[in-house]
Structure 1
Amino acid sequence: MVSEMKILTGMTIHNICWLLLESLPVPSYFTLSEELQQNQTAAEDIINTIKVLNNFLSEAEETCLMNELDPYMNKLRYEFDHWDDAIHGYRETERLQWNEENTKILDRVRKIAFPPDVAPIKFVHILDLDKNGWIKPHIDAVRFCGNTIAGLSLLTDSVMRLVHDKNKNLYADLFLKRRSLYIMKGVARFDYTHEILSNDNSIFKGEKVLKDRRISVICRNEPDPKYKDI
């Protein structure tokens, strides 16, 4: 018992935090800032409220989505000024009607992302990001969507960064692989800004991740009625 006490006394808080973090399963698509590594509660909160499902789409499914989206998206110009200054180099739309094959894909997304008692927004948000574009740090307005955001990543790999809204030293990077699905809710949705890094800053685990044109197909749930008039 005495020897165990000596061992514990000799350990630094940093060492103890690292031992705690090692017992916490950190998915391979995550990297955590040093301060987030040392805060087990915050680390658990972020890991448990955003998931990335790699290879959610097959190559054929990605092609099917693009075949339906491209004819319309290619008519739009890329914009370099966003109405709330959240995106640089983008074009976007909302889509309600889909062909049969893509309807099945979106139904699969909704089934995984939303519980049976949660109403998804019928319109799907399509965000087309230019190769040289990026999404700036932001938290999606609560008056426009609810507590869950689910996004398919098409055409390219990219890096998403989440930064705590009150403590900028708490941040995590996620590797969004091409054809993956991310699902963000709770703490990740409301307490952290999210962004897609520009190619100048797009690094994951020491490796450069060059983003090409990126299309996000995003499903959300209805906002809480108490926020609709904000």
Structure 2
Amino acid sequence: MVRVTLLKKATDLIFFHRTDKWPVSFFESMKQSIAVIPEFITEDEEKCLLQEIEPHMKRLRYEESHWDDAIHTYREREQKKWNPANEKVLERIATTSFPEDALHLSYIHILDLHKNGYIKPHIDSVRYCGDVISGISLLSDCVMRLVHKDEKHLIVDLHLIRRSLYKMTGIARYDFTHEVLRHNDSYFNDVYVPRERRISLIRRDLPKKEAKLNVEWKPLGEAVPDIKHEHK
């Protein structure tokens, strides 16, 4: 009974606009390409993650815009080593979201989005990450919107509630832009979703060609100057 309730809640966190306009096969494929799992971490696990993250984030100032103009009013860093308790949480993201044979980027991307910040529509470059993008939301809910890159009427909203996990793969990863709506536009199925400062911890697998080469990626601040990181 508990499992059925959880699945229903997870389904309620995904909203397809104008389902009558979706080709049936495409609709079914999209449903298999996205997931939101509520209460993926506990309140204590969130607190433990924040205790490790916050001292580093406080040293950074919020940036008004990203190099590619995709993110506004944010700060970010990447981290490889975590305390044992948090390492278990991050490993749980990996085992839940990725195939067993996936090769992961060794650094976790930490994105701190100000209450007034937002992320514009974009598709993460295949140069910097592979088939799966997955992350957890700390401190606040938000609405993530996916829009088909060509058929703009094909829209899906994800209600990323605090402490939930989201996953994008397949056509959601490659054929749809994704964005985080501004706090004034933060509506899910016509219901306003209040937004505060939000921190997301994002895991990615290696791009296919890079995975074959067993490339070790550098964190933000240590990257080769002509390599830029994509965000979500």
The two structures have a TM-score, normalised by structure 1, of: 0.85
Q: 1:36 to 1:144 in 2, by over 3 A?
A: farther
| Matches of 1:36 and 1:175, distance apart in 2 | 21
2:124 maps to 1:164: no
Write the letter of the residue equivalent to 1:149: I
Structure 1 residue 30: deviation in Å? 1.4
CA contact (8 A) 1:36 1:43 kept: no
Q: Which has the larger radius of gyration?
A: 1
For residues 133-172 of structure 1, the C-alpha deviation after alignment (integer angstroms, 9 at most, x for no partner) is: 0011000010000000110011011100000011111111
| Matches of 1:183 and 1:201, distance apart in 2 | 22
Structure 1 residue 36: deviation in Å? 6.0
CA contact (8 A) 1:36 1:171 kept: no
Q: 1:167 to 1:65 in 2, by over 3 A?
A: same
| Matches of 1:35 and 1:60, distance apart in 2 | 38
Gaps of 5+ in 1: 1-25
Write the letter of the residue equivalent to 1:123: Y
1:90 pairs, out of 74, 77, 96, with: 74
Counterpart for residue 19 of structure 1: none
2:41 maps to 1:57: yes
Matches within 5 A, 1:13-32: 27-32=11-16
Counterpart for residue 11 of structure 1: none
Matched position secondary structure for 2:41? coil
CA contact (8 A) 2:22 2:154 kept: no
2:137 maps to 1:130: no
Q: 1:192 to 1:36 in 2, by over 3 A?
A: farther
Matched position secondary structure for 1:94? strand
Deviates more, 1:210-219 or 1:109-118: 109-118
Matched position secondary structure for 1:89? strand
1:184 pairs, out of 154, 168, 173, with: 168
Write the letter of the residue equivalent to 2:52: E
| Matches of 2:98 and 2:141, distance apart in 1 | 25
Write the letter of the residue equivalent to 2:164: S
Counterpart for residue 105 of structure 2: 121
CA contact (8 A) 1:143 1:224 kept: no
Matched residue count: 204
Structure 1 residue 46: deviation in Å? 1.6
Deviates more, 1:125-134 or 1:114-123: 114-123
Gaps of 5+ in 2: 1-9, 216-226, 228-232
Write the letter of the residue equivalent to 2:167: I
Q: 1:105 to 1:168 in 2, by over 3 A?
A: same
1:143 pairs, out of 127, 130, 145, with: 127
Across the aligned residues of Structure 1 and Structure 2, the Cα RMSD in angstroms comes to 1.8
| Matches of 1:218 and 1:99, distance apart in 2 | 17
| Matches of 2:194 and 2:46, distance apart in 1 | 20
Structure 1 residue 38: deviation in Å? 3.9
Matched position secondary structure for 1:45? helix
Write the letter of the residue equivalent to 1:144: Y
CA contact (8 A) 1:95 1:125 kept: yes
4+ long deviations beyond 3 Å: 35-38, 226-229
CA contact (8 A) 2:14 2:36 kept: no
For residues 81-120 of structure 1, the C-alpha deviation after alignment (integer angstroms, 9 at most, x for no partner) is: 1101110110001100100100010011111111111111
| Matches of 2:19 and 2:210, distance apart in 1 | 34
Q: 1:226 to 1:122 in 2, by over 3 A?
A: closer
